[in-house]
Amino acid sequence: MQPTDGPLTFEELQLATRNRGMPLEALRYDITPVGLHYLLIHFDIPRIDVRDWRLTISDFNEPVALAYDEIRALPRTTLPVTMECAGNGRARLHPRPLSNPWLNEAIGTAEWSGTSLWPILERAGLPRDTAEIVFRGADPGIQGGVEHFYERSLTPAEVQRPEVLLAYEMNGRPLEPQHGFPVRLIVPGWYGMTSVKWLTSIRTVTVPFTGYQQTPAYHFTGSEDEEGEPVQRIRPRALMVPPGVPDYFSRHRFLDASRVAVFGRAWSGSAEVTKVELGIDGVWSEATLGESVGQFAWRSWSFAWDATPGEHVLSCRATDAAGAVQPIEQPWNYQGMGNNSVQTVAVTVR
């Protein structure tokens, strides 16, 4: 389907009503309540009876099949992780790639509990000729004309990171069906597509994996025919809680002239966020940074704005320790991936 500047299509609406975003006022919480965390489900939420469910680890030296209780009995780790969909910002591109039409809200930070993946794979014994490890979800469907189970791969170097988890709890409770019950992968720092939900199997392959969700999907590419570069780590982004009160339908903001605390969160999957700036009518000033919620989670920021009567446009942008900074305008790409161009909020000050 060709990208368009036309009106929102019925198919985009159909996806948008299933895959909800996080309302930006929820940037207030260090840890996003489960019901406010964004959701992205390509096919249907599978129904899994945990008594029959096994995680099979095959094509390793010593294959195993683990039951839910066996995974829960392994050493437990809890990590706050900011997760973002790679398609976040897609609907702000011109022309608009046709898929879930995210603006800015495909984001959330949860406290994931589970067990570190690598000790399990190490025990199963990674064959010497392993190129990649493939993670399969229980959800089948058809995308791009290809019928498949949702599957993604990682290299041996990536799965050895101790923070890569087999997660069975979100914010201290068993995963809800929509977030991957009984067990999902969590890959901190990478865009959300890597964190495979409803895991059923882990296997090794001797050549790089080319299942649909790995290639052609999730690539920065200029056209349908080009392969492009794989999408991996989360680009830096700052978002603000839109200040004042909204008009119901337009979401335009209104507030009274005063000193206003503008605040939000910022994150990056590659390096710590070291600077957030607030733009007021195109003039940038540095905001005050709060502590990070965790090594793999967002940090808060705030700025005291002397709001004077009139029409104003606020924006915010993050810079990370690797020197990456959010662009004002984003180079276009065919799948609408990684659009971290700055958020803008129009405000009427009375």
Ligand X SMILES: Nc1nc2c(c(=O)[nH]1)N[C@H]1C(S)=C(S)[C@@H](COP(=O)(O)O)O[C@H]1N2
Binding positions for ligand X, rule: CB under 6 A? 37-42, 83, 85, 137, 139, 150, 179, 192-193, 195-198
Q: What gap in Å lies between CA 89 and CA 348, rounded to an integer?
A: 24
Residue found under tokens 């923070």: 163
Q: Rank residues 195 and 315 by Cβ distance to ligand X and give the closer one.
A: 195
Spatial strand order in the sheet of 199-205? 64-66, 55-58, 199-205, 132-143, 146-154
- Tell me whether strands 288-292 and 107-116 are parallel, antiparallel or unpaired: unpaired
Q: Which residue is nearest to Mo ion (CB)?
A: 85
- Please report how close the Cβ of residue 107 comes to ligand X at its closest, in angstroms: 9
Indicate which of ligand X, Mo ion, none lies near residue 139 (CB less than 5 to 8 Å, by partner kind).
ligand X
Q: What gap in Å lies between CA 249 and CA 206, rounded to an integer?
A: 53
Q: Rank residues 26 and 83 by Cβ distance to ligand X and give the closer one.
A: 83
- Please report how close the Cβ of residue 84 comes to Mo ion at its closest, in angstroms: 8
Largest CA distance in the chain: 70
- Please report how close the Cβ of residue 279 comes to ligand X at its closest, in angstroms: 28
- Please report how close the Cβ of residue 150 comes to ligand X at its closest, in angstroms: 4
Classified as helix, coil or strand, 253 is strand
346 contacts 251 by C-beta, under 8 angstroms: no
Contact segment (CB under 5 A) with Mo ion among 185-193, 210-218, 219-227, 250-258 equals 185-193
Does 193 bind Mo ion (CB under 5 A)? Our answer is: yes
Interface map 1-40 toward Mo ion (x if CB under 5 A):
---------------------------------------x
Q: Nearest Cα to 171, choosing from 118, 115, 233, 108?
A: 108
- Residues in binding contact with Mo ion, number by CB under 5 A: 4
One residue of 21, 97, 108, 192 binding Mo ion per CB under 5 A: 192
Q: Which residue is nearest to ligand X (CB)?
A: 137
Does 83 bind Mo ion (CB under 5 A)? Our answer is: no
68 contacts 183 by C-beta, under 8 angstroms: yes
**DSSP H helices in the chain:** 10-18, 68-72, 117-124, 156-159
What residues contact 13, with CB distance under 8 A and at least 6 apart? none
Q: Rank residues 109 and 315 by Cβ distance to ligand X and give the closer one.
A: 109
Indicate which of ligand X, Mo ion, none lies near residue 38 (CB less than 5 to 8 Å, by partner kind).
ligand X
One residue of 71, 83, 85, 133 binding Mo ion per CB under 5 A: 85
Phi-psi region of 244 (alpha: psi -120 to 50; beta: other; left: phi over 0): left
- Please report how close the Cβ of residue 30 comes to Mo ion at its closest, in angstroms: 23
Does 41 bind Mo ion (CB under 5 A)? Our answer is: no
